[in-house]
Chain A
């Protein structure tokens, strides 16, 4: 018989390293054609965080996002970053990028002030131009400004940005420690179907809400949610590196024996964002990449309980464990 159930789980995630002391640094150079080079010391291996950093730089400099070129994986060229981990890049490196872009923008304002005999404080950067706030018809394009800086004023337009939290250690007696830069939040509903004959569980639908502060790029955030949900389904139902615990003999050595979720295992995922603006985040953003994998497993296991009344306390909820638990429940 196939039985359906719904399960709820919630979670939080602290942005950045618990120990603090994890620097994010950025250098922004506006080149003579007005295009922008963004140097970041972390490697991005596919998650999209460098695109988010480029968006932050574009917003501050008032240029199209396409005008930003990211260079992010060379320690000869890029300043120090702690790395792409701990859901830290958007927040920590993001704050450095915003600071670097602001410094570059202030240099641009000085240049344009000289070109137009205006005051830097009366200028704004918007639509690829530096313009007078109250008289937008008075402007210089980024290309004009950068070219003038380079070839007339002998000026290099480079902005530098740094952000780092204090390094902290826990109090040995209480464990007290300021381990959190900011917190992101989630709540997830899983709908499952349990086959009581085979013990197999299908996840039918995942609905989730996230607060990640300002969502810099909804498409990339949804990408994190979908990837993380798939990883959470694997943890809930399939993955175990030492299946015959504690023997190590049957540790899988290929991805046929160690089964991870594929497209057929991942259901429809609906997500909604509640933006609790982080007052100290870059444009109000928090980090959240990791938490998307953390909370789905409990929602799925709680849904299994709702469907068939068994509590699985050892992940993954394999068909064998489901059948054993159903058998035990039938006996009692």
Chain B
């Protein structure tokens, strides 16, 4: 539909500023007297911190302050708050922040970092999710290497009668696919500037995609309101629980206007350390990650191993699908359980399959935490389901278009997560594509609609 403005190719209101370079990246915000933060990152993949001696760093020229876990009022953050701002005892990935230095410039901060004496016992890490799933694998976390979904080491989604589905199938098509880890590669790396004022308030300039999430998490980390007990409730959470409902009027978040994110800036990568530091020493503090730090230690799309076992009829109908999916999370929960859930609810892609059983595992390894990236769990679903569709089509000898028309969701169908769907247009979209691309569809496919009742 079109209106006066709806459906029109109006220019972006910020387009000219972006084009001329007038739009500011978050790193372009300059506040006089700002100290530069650098962070001591774990030199080992897994270990136990025995001692941190910061006295030489504190005496280093230009260094204003050094903070460790002891300086963080509530040392846990995340949607499921299991990630320390600064590691206190256990280190779970190489590059995990352990201590931070604020200094007059970058060189002085790096010199300060080099003078911190870290005594750490290195332990055996595990990098392969399949290894990590074995009972005798080194433990990434004391409670085990599998995220627990409602008391179970995997998310369970069942729909229809899977055994009956396989019994009614003419043949089985089984496959395994691997979707690798992918980097967001957004333009602006992680950066944050925390500016305290004389009233005790803080302004935090963030690259975050969701400033209100970060506001809630910072309020908890800082325990800004001593009467506020919500951070304690938050600490006990084992399900997805965004702390957006907890926020402090003592912090103001200012977001960016350019720089990209693609899911890489849902996690609070850089805001916590400068905020803790700025509150401690009363001066503006900026933490700017290098591209190297961003690539090595920021979140990324976690890799997936997905095993399909499909029961198929000779006429092209898929009547049963059993899936075992393994999502590698890295060392902390971050958004990985949410991503796993989102995959499991729509593991059949854009097709109606009457009998489904999905087990979605979320496995911890000693790598930097993975998290959201453009598409969450739908990306591996789309990629692997569509490869599987072509394989099934070839196996039973029908056309790739036809198998998709036969199995496409129709209005009123249910997803594996039992949602009845109505705004359905896959068949029409395929017809539009065929017309655009000059592909001749059979009369039968041309006559189909998403409103057709399923036989």
Binding site for B on A (CB under 8 A): 7-14, 18-19, 21, 41-46, 48, 50-51, 54-56, 58-59, 62, 64-66, 68-70, 72-76, 80-86, 126-127, 169-170, 172-180, 182-183, 185-189, 207-211, 213-220, 228, 231, 234-235, 239-242, 245-248, 251-255, 258, 260, 270, 272, 274-279, 283-284, 286, 289-291, 293-295, 297-299, 301-302, 305, 311, 313-316
Q: Provided the pairs A73-B254, A179-B417 are in contact, do residues A43 and B210 lie with their beta carbons within 8 angstroms?
A: yes
Q: Which of A41, A175, A214 contacts B345 (CB 8 A)?
A: A175
* Closest residue of A by beta carbon distance from B181: A241
Q: Which of B213, B263, B386 contacts A295 (CB 8 A)?
A: B386
* Closest residue of B by beta carbon distance from A18: B342
Q: Provided the pairs A75-B212, A248-B367, A270-B436 are in contact, do residues A59 and B3 lie with their beta carbons within 8 angstroms?
A: yes
B280 sits at the interface (CB 8 A): no
Chain B, residues 144-160, CB within 8 Å of chain A (1/0): the string is: 00000111100111110
Given A12-B378, A274-B425: 9 more A-B contacts, CB < 8 Å: A7-B400, A56-B6, A59-B4, A59-B5, A75-B211, A80-B212, A85-B261, A209-B430, A278-B423
Q: Which of A8, A186, A272, A313 contacts B175 (CB 8 A)?
A: A313
B81 sits at the interface (CB 8 A): no
Q: Could you tell me if A186 and B5 are in contact, using CB atoms closer than 8 angstroms?
A: no
Q: Could you tell me if A241 and B183 are in contact, using CB atoms closer than 8 angstroms?
A: yes
Which of B62-70, B105-113, B222-230, B369-377 lines the interface with chain A?
B369-377
* Closest residue of A by beta carbon distance from B159: A174
B45 sits at the interface (CB 8 A): yes
Q: Which of A216, A242, A311 contacts B180 (CB 8 A)?
A: A242
Residues of A near B151 (CB, < 8 A) are 172
Q: Which of B150, B182, B206 contacts A172 (CB 8 A)?
A: B150
- Would you call the interface of chain A mostly helix, strand, loop, or mixed? loop
Binding site for A on B (CB under 8 A): 1, 3-15, 18, 45, 94, 127-128, 131, 149-152, 155-159, 175-183, 185-187, 206-213, 215, 239-240, 242, 244, 247, 251-263, 265-266, 291-292, 295-296, 300, 303, 338, 341-342, 344-346, 349-350, 358, 365, 367, 372, 374-376, 378-379, 382-387, 389-391, 400-401, 404, 408-409, 415-419, 421, 423-426, 428-430, 432-433, 435-437, 439, 450
Residues of A near B150 (CB, < 8 A) are 170, 172
Q: Could you tell me if B437 and A291 are in contact, using CB atoms closer than 8 angstroms?
A: no
Residues of A near B425 (CB, < 8 A) are 185, 211, 274, 276
* Closest residue of B by beta carbon distance from A25: B212
Q: Could you tell me if B210 and A175 are in contact, using CB atoms closer than 8 angstroms?
A: no
CB distance from B76 to the nearest CB of A (A): 20
Q: Could you tell me if B5 and A65 are in contact, using CB atoms closer than 8 angstroms?
A: yes
Q: Could you tell me if B181 and A242 are in contact, using CB atoms closer than 8 angstroms?
A: yes
* Closest residue of B by beta carbon distance from A279: B423
Residues of B near A277 (CB, < 8 A) are 1
Residue of B8, B128, B212, B296 ringed by the most chain A CB atoms within 10 A: B212
Taken together as a complex, chains A and B put the C-alpha atoms of A72 and B213 apart, in Å, by: 15
Q: Which of A14, A56, A305 contacts B346 (CB 8 A)?
A: A14
Q: Could you tell me if A12 and B350 are in contact, using CB atoms closer than 8 angstroms?
A: yes
Taken together as a complex, chains A and B put the C-alpha atoms of A174 and B292 apart, in Å, by: 43
* Closest residue of A by beta carbon distance from B259: A45
Q: Which of B7, B253, B418 contacts A174 (CB 8 A)?
A: B418
CB distance from B251 to the nearest CB of A (A): 8
Q: Could you tell me if B181 and A180 are in contact, using CB atoms closer than 8 angstroms?
A: no
Q: Could you tell me if A207 and B436 are in contact, using CB atoms closer than 8 angstroms?
A: yes
Q: Could you tell me if A45 and B258 are in contact, using CB atoms closer than 8 angstroms?
A: yes
Residues of A near B181 (CB, < 8 A) are 240-242
CB distance from B288 to the nearest CB of A (A): 16
* Closest residue of A by beta carbon distance from B300: A241
Residues of B near A58 (CB, < 8 A) are 4-5
Residue of B256, B341, B429 ringed by the most chain A CB atoms within 10 A: B429
Residues of A near B432 (CB, < 8 A) are 187, 209, 272, 274
Q: Offer 19 A-B interface pairs, CB within 8 angstroms, sorted by A.
A: A10-B408, A12-B350, A18-B341, A21-B242, A43-B211, A65-B10, A73-B257, A74-B253, A84-B209, A85-B261, A178-B419, A189-B439, A211-B428, A214-B1, A216-B6, A242-B303, A253-B292, A253-B296, A302-B390
Residues of B near A298 (CB, < 8 A) are 382-387
Count: A-B pairs, CB below 8 Å: 374
Q: Could you tell me if A48 and B12 are in contact, using CB atoms closer than 8 angstroms?
A: yes
Q: Could you tell me if B259 and A246 are in contact, using CB atoms closer than 8 angstroms?
A: no
Residues of B near A42 (CB, < 8 A) are 209-211, 255
Q: Could you tell me if B346 and A54 are in contact, using CB atoms closer than 8 angstroms?
A: no
Q: Could you tell me if B178 and A177 are in contact, using CB atoms closer than 8 angstroms?
A: no
Taken together as a complex, chains A and B put the C-alpha atoms of A176 and B349 apart, in Å, by: 16
Q: Could you tell me if B386 and A175 are in contact, using CB atoms closer than 8 angstroms?
A: no
CB distance from A297 to the nearest CB of B (A): 5
CB distance from A289 to the nearest CB of B (A): 8
Residues of B near A185 (CB, < 8 A) are 350, 424-426, 429
Residue of B6, B176, B259 ringed by the most chain A CB atoms within 10 A: B6
Residues of A near B436 (CB, < 8 A) are 207, 209, 270, 272
* Closest residue of A by beta carbon distance from B150: A172
Residues of A near B10 (CB, < 8 A) are 51, 55, 65, 217, 219
Q: Could you tell me if B185 and A10 are in contact, using CB atoms closer than 8 angstroms?
A: no
Q: Could you tell me if B18 and A46 are in contact, using CB atoms closer than 8 angstroms?
A: yes
Taken together as a complex, chains A and B put the C-alpha atoms of A174 and B344 apart, in Å, by: 11
Q: Provided the pairs A11-B386, A70-B13, A73-B255 are in contact, do residues A290 and B3 lie with their beta carbons within 8 angstroms?
A: no
Q: Could you tell me if A260 and B185 are in contact, using CB atoms closer than 8 angstroms?
A: yes
Residues of A near B255 (CB, < 8 A) are 42-43, 45, 72-74
Residues of A near B261 (CB, < 8 A) are 45, 84-85
Taken together as a complex, chains A and B put the C-alpha atoms of A235 and B263 apart, in Å, by: 15
Q: Which of B251, B266, B429 contacts A83 (CB 8 A)?
A: B266
